[in-house]
Amino acid sequence: MSDTLKTAFDVRPLTAALGAEIHGLRLEEITDDEFAELRRLLLEHLVLFIPDQQGWSPESRTAFGRRFGELEVHQYLPHLDGHPEIQIIDSKQDGKIPIWHTDMTYSPNPPIGSILQIVRSPGVGGDTMWSNQYLAYEALSAPLRDLLGGLTAVHAIRIPGLESRAEHPVVRVHPETGRRALFVNRAHTSHIPQLSRNESDALLQYLTEFATSPQFTCRYQWRQGDVAIWDNRVTQHYAVDDYQERRTGLRVVVLGDTPAGNEARWEQYQPKPGERYAPARFNAKESY
């Protein structure tokens, strides 16, 4: 990451991998110039934290989200009265399932990003972690990167009221930076259709563990009113479930684009006569 670019804000990187706190900014009153700078910083640090944004109005919150793109109305999460784009994340209402994931990769067009404000936080615990998928991809050996560049992965979810399936490149190209990143995750990636079931399971096990290694991550300790903005295209995140008190948040999600990458270099794997082949399925919800 560059440390030579100047900014109007007080930018405090959290780790060498990703993440930065931004001080000297009020999201309720953000100007066009400030937003342009914030967007540049997001591409550089992948997840930004803006502390103490108490009093952020619903109208300003949705207007800010729309600067990034069209906002999602979630299919099963509750929302703020009168504001269907503002989702309520509540630890007492299925709001915490600790597993590394990228949001909604089971969709043909996963979100490009999310904006989450913690409204109520536990006295201790309830941190969230993020992982840089650029770095995870770049740390792989050249032969493995070459193999992955010719594979796709199926992402799926199947829970009451929501069933979806999509196929994406295993290596995704970011549409704004042109950098390549791993695009598989433990929660939603079912299988790699060009491989046998055993090969797919083994490779995904390795990739999902490697992609969330400590050297690629940052961890954020929430305080009431803090806001996080992250690039969903090149990160994973994990909500640490180490608390009993209630934790709530308000989130808006920016609708996505089609993940771009190489075409598959091989046909889908065809089981031999008598061979049993049943790709794994994951029944998981997002957690924050």
Would you name the residues annotated as active-site residues?
101, 103, 237, 251
Q: Identify the CA nearest to 280 among candidates 160, 168, 194, 155.
A: 155
Tokens 């504001």 belong to which residue? Answer: 83
Distance of CA 220 to the CA centre of its chain: 15
Q: Which residues contact 177 (CB under 8 A, 6 or more apart)?
A: 43
Q: How far is CA 166 from CA 26, 151, 154, in A?
A: 38, 14, 6
**CB atoms near residue 267 (< 10 Å):** 8
Residue ranges of E strands in the chain: 10-13, 20-23, 47-50, 79-80, 83-90, 113-120, 128-132, 152-159, 162-169, 171-173, 180-182, 189-191, 217-220, 227-231, 235-239, 248-254
Q: Round to whole Å and give the CA distance between 40 and 218.
A: 19
83 forms beta bridges with 80
